[in-house]
Amino acid sequence: MPHPHAGARLGRRAPRGRSWWIGVLFAVGSVCFLVGPFPGFLAAVGPMVVGIVFFVGSLFFTSAATLQLVDSVESGSSRLDLWSSLTQLAGTVLFNLNTFRAMVGDPSYDRQVWRPDAVGSALFLVSGVLAYVAVSGGLLRLPPRTRPGTGAAVNLLGCIAFGVAAVGAYLVPSTGQEVSVPAADLGTSFGALCFLVGALLLLPVAAPRRAPRRCGAARR
């Protein structure tokens, strides 16, 4: 979940600054989680490749979350920002472990359909709430009509979607079946789409090009 304050703190016009890398890393990880649950993708590449895609995506998430925490510390962010970045990083590490176990064929995990880790999803949700409150000034207040405000809103929506996916992927002990495979898949993909939008909002805004000078004007 890309932190909405990163771009505002670091300057959106700085080419390839830290905010640029945070946005790109989160974007790549989001794409992995966006396409992974699609049945057509599974049929085309097989469960082993799907497991690798999810694990690689989780590594991109953790790399971005690490940079984001470093930025929060170095920039002297508020406690809400710091706790949001810290809980987010902890959540991504749990996703690393979860997706790795699925990739290597742990019998307690299904490689074909990624099972969101409940604790990791809960940490993402806490992080999203803290980031939203930091931008909006309150959980029940509307976010400002700015890039950070929009980013906070879509990221919180993505965290909620991941939470829904975690509930859908829960295995009922009496039946051994998931609560809802569609909810797990759709929640994962929709949540990843929200994170992708939030990541793109962190990318620097291109500076407007200057009109070329005329020869006569250049001599004035």
State whether residue 46 is helix, strand or coil: coil
Contact 17, 11 (CB under 8 A): yes
| Partners of 178 in beta bridges | 171
Q: How confident is the model at residue 220 (pLDDT cuts 50, 70, 90)?
A: very low
Q: Per the structure block, which two tokens stand in for 121?
A: 């999803």
Q: Is residue 8 predicted with pLDDT exceeding 60?
A: no
Residue 9 one-letter amino acid: R
The predicted-structure confidence for 178-206, as pLDDT tens digits, reads as follows 888 889 889 999 999 999 999 999 886 54
Task: Report residue 38: phi and psi, to 5°.
Answer: -65, 130
Find the radius of gyration of the CA atoms of the chain. Answer: 19
- Domain residue limits, the chain: 5-204
pLDDT number for residue 40:
86
Q: Per the structure block, which two tokens stand in for 47?
A: 């469960």
Q: What is the average pLDDT value for the chain, to the nearest integer?
A: 82
Task: Give the torsion sign (CA, 152, 198, 169, 58).
Answer: negative
Contact 162, 122 (CB under 8 A): no
